[in-house]
Structure 1
Amino acid sequence: MAKLKDLLKNIHTNVHGFEMKRQYSDPQIYTGGVDIKKWKTLSEEQKQAALKKNWYLYYSYRDPETNLLTRQQNIKDGVNWYKTKEERLEILEKYRISLSIILKNGFNPYIPDDDLLEDEKTILTIKEAFELGIKLKEKVLAEKPFATYESRINNFKGWLDKKGFIGQPITAITKKAAQTYLNEILNKTSARSYNDARSILSSLFEVLDSNDIIEDNFISKIPTLKSTPTRNKTYTQTIQEQIFKDLKEKDSQLLLFILFISYNFLRPIEVCRLRIEDIDVVGKRLYIKAKNQPVKTKIIPEILLRELPNLENKNKKHFLFTPNGIGEWVTKNEDDKRGYFTKRFNKMVKIPMNLGAEYGLYSFRHYFIGKLYQEFAKELTPFETKSKLMLITGHTTMSALEKYLRNIDAVLPEDYSEHIELSLMG
């Protein structure tokens, strides 16, 4: 037995005397300074503190000049955009396994021409890249634009799947593929839909470009198309009066919805957002979420105040308008809510009165702003008229209001027949 121990000792000594030193350390994951195995035992404050720190993959490689194991650059690759432990670990663990494999296969960070790691870590699949882009946009977009953004991206992803791009890397998407998709949208819908889709795709690829997921946002190089927006035609006084009269008898709730557009100059989607808590009857104030600012305060004119139902004992969180009156509305999609009242208006008004596509809920806003402008203009200068109107309509600049007034033909000249007659006489 003594001889066997001596033999093993001699072998151990000889092996360690001649073995080459290991060239790298095993890749490790840094998890914000906490033991990830004890995550469940951490307090919520400790978890959040860890998630606020950068998580990354790290390793060392032997420097050829010093022959010492030297810490290499940390690998993050956008992982800290994700806000949960599970998401970060899932990505970093994939990188750890991949890095271990290429290190075993001879990867050397000190040889620039063999920089396989950079290629490995930047190429995500289409699914992974799109998920990252959607998550990042969710942090900066409001609910409605984000819903539109996510829907358009998923539509493109669905198209890619049908075309055989399932499981492909994000680099498989070419400008030609994107252009083909946009052309199909143009053929099925309109130039406006084409431009909207192009804008959202470009926004996604810009995020991927800025995070080094792709090399170039080639979507931005696809030109936009000239499109003529559909304009809601202003009602005549006769049609407006007839609509109000009919709805007073047949659908008082829809009439009240329209009165908020007509008298408070809200957009239909802003009316859909109104909750009981947003209406201050005593102070005659209305608090709404506008498209370009978090909250906007407007007065409630007396003409509209008289039409409001009794709101005293109503739940403050309930919506003023739902399919069944004041109450909860299960759907959170504002486009669906606006769409419901648009369809209801079509059924109750447009179809019975045989009104064309150019007439809609927006037409009431145009009609009453035009009427108000003409009324102010009887006693005020054009500048005074527009200055007073700006406070009511919510336009933030004079030029924006002037453009709007031109579009709805609110500013019309006086009858110039006399001047024509004089010119003919001359």
Structure 2
Amino acid sequence: MENILNLITLDVQNEHDLEHDFSKKPNFSEPKIYDADGDLEKRWYVYFSYKDPKTGRLKRMKNIYGKVNSHKTKEARYYLLSVYKRRLLRLLKAGYNPFENNTELYKKHHQETTTSPPSLISGSPVESVQGVDSEYIKPLRSTKPPQKRQKAMELKAAIDFALKLKTNVVSDRTLSDYRNQSGGLLKWLDKNRKDIKTIDELTKGVIVEFLNEIQLKTSARNRNNFRTCFSSVFQVLEDNEVVRQNPIKNVTKLKTNPKRNKTYSQKQQREIFEYLEKEDPNLLLFIKFVSYNLLRPKEVCRLRIKDINLDDGTLQFRAKNKVLKTKLIPSILMEELPDLSVMEGDLLLFTKDGIGGKWKATLESRRGYFTDRFKKVVKDHFGFNENHGLYSFRHTFITKLYRSLVKHASPFSAKSYLMQITGHSSMAALEKYLRDVDAELPKDYSNLLK
């Protein structure tokens, strides 16, 4: 269906259109480019506002994307959006009004900008920028009968459709969480809002009502997790034109106070290691991968025999950001490893039965097993609460490393070297981490208090 938007997003190679400067008092704001601060993972677009004939105030029109987000470089996106912006401004100056019928203007400039015959302008298009409220749009006359508005998709079918499209896009754990959270919403609707049958009837207000109930029953953090799920699901539906817009975009994310596992004192760490040497050596080795190699417990659970390079003294692992990374295995840990050369490469390094074996459990289940095992063997024995866990060893040994390094080097030099060990992506990220775990402590300042 041809419409005025085509004139904005024509092939850039044919950009010789609308070279005249039209003088007319504007009823619109100057089109602007949104570049997401250069983030190529987000959608870029051109946006503008036009005077609403009912209110007399400028009203934001729907964003113009064109083909810009198919390009993977900043240069290409800026170039294309600049062309869209320039063409849109000329059309607006020429008299284009998104609230009125623009047939004649479209025909005039279509003939000026393309070699296509007039017969291409056919059917019964709606001449407006996408997204303008239907009450302002005037359909063009046509010899063809008007097309019926597509029936809204049923609620559960729409959510199932969105979740299916999330397959291979997010992790299995995230997809499972989305299914559970979406299922919770559907159950709540079936109990409290039986009148809602189709996806277009599920409004922002209804979802906020559900989120408020989640917050009151659980926590603000859990409410935010549900919000993230619904926003992701509705964005898929908007991108696939199942709904007109994502109603979750304007739902506020609540401020929360995240909890972080506390570090162990040197005495506590030493006592735990000595106790596990006798009670559970395999669990101790698991903990030493967290402590000496500074891996997250889940990253240790992913390790397979083939990930350990005995010749180079290195290991490869999939980090939190899903990037495959390589780390040096310190000699203090290499000396603890059994003979892995006789084991098959695809075997898991850690299983519930020992080192090197098969385990059909999911990653989350394996992670949960070692968490529970640590609680029963260590936490219950020493009386630790929920503030201490397996992750605490990572905090403990990063703190220990930093405080040792800073004794013989400047803080900047110590952090620069520590970054190579921890794998933090930037100095700012490492400094934030060190502040969070209270690794940086000042020297004794008693002399300043006298």
Corresponding residue SS for 1:219? coil
Q: CA deviation at 1:113?
A: 9.2
Q: CA deviation at 1:174?
A: 2.2
Contact 2:123 2:142 (8 Å CA) reproduced = no
Corresponding residue SS for 1:286? strand
Q: CA deviation at 1:187?
A: 2.3
Contact 1:195 1:224 (8 Å CA) reproduced = yes
- Larger radius of gyration between Structure 1 and Structure 2: 1
Q: Do residues 247 (structure 1) and 276 (structure 2) align?
A: yes
User: Cα deviations across residues 269-321 of structure 1 (Å, max 9, x unaligned)?
Assistant: 11111111111122111100112133111011101111112212212111111
Partner amino acid, structure 2, of 1:316: G
Q: CA deviation at 1:151?
A: 3.2
Contact 2:123 2:144 (8 Å CA) reproduced = no
The corresponding residue for 1:392 is 421
Matches within 5 A, 1:12-411: 110=142, 114-116=146-148, 118-120=149-151, 123-163=152-192, 165=194, 168-325=197-354, 326-332=356-362, 334-411=363-440
Aligned residues: 315
Seen in structure 2, the aligned counterparts of structure 1 residues 294 and 149 have a Cα distance that, compared at 3 Å, is farther
Contact 2:215 2:222 (8 Å CA) reproduced = yes
Counterpart Cα distance in 2 of 1:361 and 1:134: 32
Contact 1:234 1:367 (8 Å CA) reproduced = yes
Seen in structure 2, the aligned counterparts of structure 1 residues 72 and 404 have a Cα distance that, compared at 3 Å, is same
Greater fraction of residues in helix = 1
The answer to which of 203-212 and 391-400 deviates more is 203-212
Counterpart Cα distance in 2 of 1:315 and 1:142: 27
Contact 1:192 1:227 (8 Å CA) reproduced = yes
Q: CA deviation at 1:144?
A: 3.4
Counterpart Cα distance in 1 of 2:123 and 2:341: 67
Q: Percent same amino acid at aligned positions?
A: 44
Contact 2:402 2:439 (8 Å CA) reproduced = yes
Q: CA deviation at 1:361?
A: 1.0
Q: CA deviation at 1:348?
A: 0.8
Q: CA deviation at 1:160?
A: 3.2
Counterpart Cα distance in 2 of 1:241 and 1:342: 20
User: Cα deviations across residues 115-152 of structure 1 (Å, max 9, x unaligned)?
Assistant: 31x323xx111222112211221132233333333333
Seen in structure 2, the aligned counterparts of structure 1 residues 373 and 168 have a Cα distance that, compared at 3 Å, is same
User: Cα deviations across residues 52-76 of structure 1 (Å, max 9, x unaligned)?
Assistant: xxxxxxxxxxxxxxxx9x9979xxx
Partner amino acid, structure 2, of 1:300: I
Counterpart Cα distance in 2 of 1:412 and 1:164: 55
Long gaps (5+) in structure 1: 1-67, 74-108, 422-426
Contact 2:211 2:223 (8 Å CA) reproduced = yes
Contact 1:125 1:167 (8 Å CA) reproduced = no
Counterpart Cα distance in 2 of 1:216 and 1:139: 24
Counterpart Cα distance in 2 of 1:146 and 1:128: 17
The answer to which of 343-352 and 183-192 deviates more is 183-192
Seen in structure 2, the aligned counterparts of structure 1 residues 167 and 227 have a Cα distance that, compared at 3 Å, is closer
Seen in structure 2, the aligned counterparts of structure 1 residues 291 and 201 have a Cα distance that, compared at 3 Å, is same
Q: CA deviation at 1:163?
A: 4.0
Q: Given the two structures, how large is their TM-score scaled by the length of structure 2?
A: 0.66
CA RMSD in angstroms, aligned pairs only:
2.5
Counterpart Cα distance in 2 of 1:204 and 1:245: 49
Seen in structure 2, the aligned counterparts of structure 1 residues 111 and 358 have a Cα distance that, compared at 3 Å, is farther
Counterpart Cα distance in 2 of 1:361 and 1:111: 72
Counterpart Cα distance in 2 of 1:168 and 1:155: 16
Counterpart Cα distance in 2 of 1:284 and 1:160: 55
Counterpart Cα distance in 2 of 1:162 and 1:170: 17
Contact 1:290 1:296 (8 Å CA) reproduced = yes
Seen in structure 2, the aligned counterparts of structure 1 residues 205 and 288 have a Cα distance that, compared at 3 Å, is same
The corresponding residue for 1:78 is none
Counterpart Cα distance in 2 of 1:281 and 1:199: 42
The answer to which of 187-196 and 259-268 deviates more is 187-196
Contact 1:133 1:204 (8 Å CA) reproduced = yes
Corresponding residue SS for 1:409? coil
Partner amino acid, structure 2, of 1:324: D
Q: CA deviation at 1:218?
A: 1.2
Q: CA deviation at 1:362?
A: 1.2
The corresponding residue for 2:7 is none
Q: CA deviation at 1:324?
A: 1.5
Partner amino acid, structure 2, of 1:331: A
Q: Do residues 420 (structure 1) and 449 (structure 2) align?
A: yes
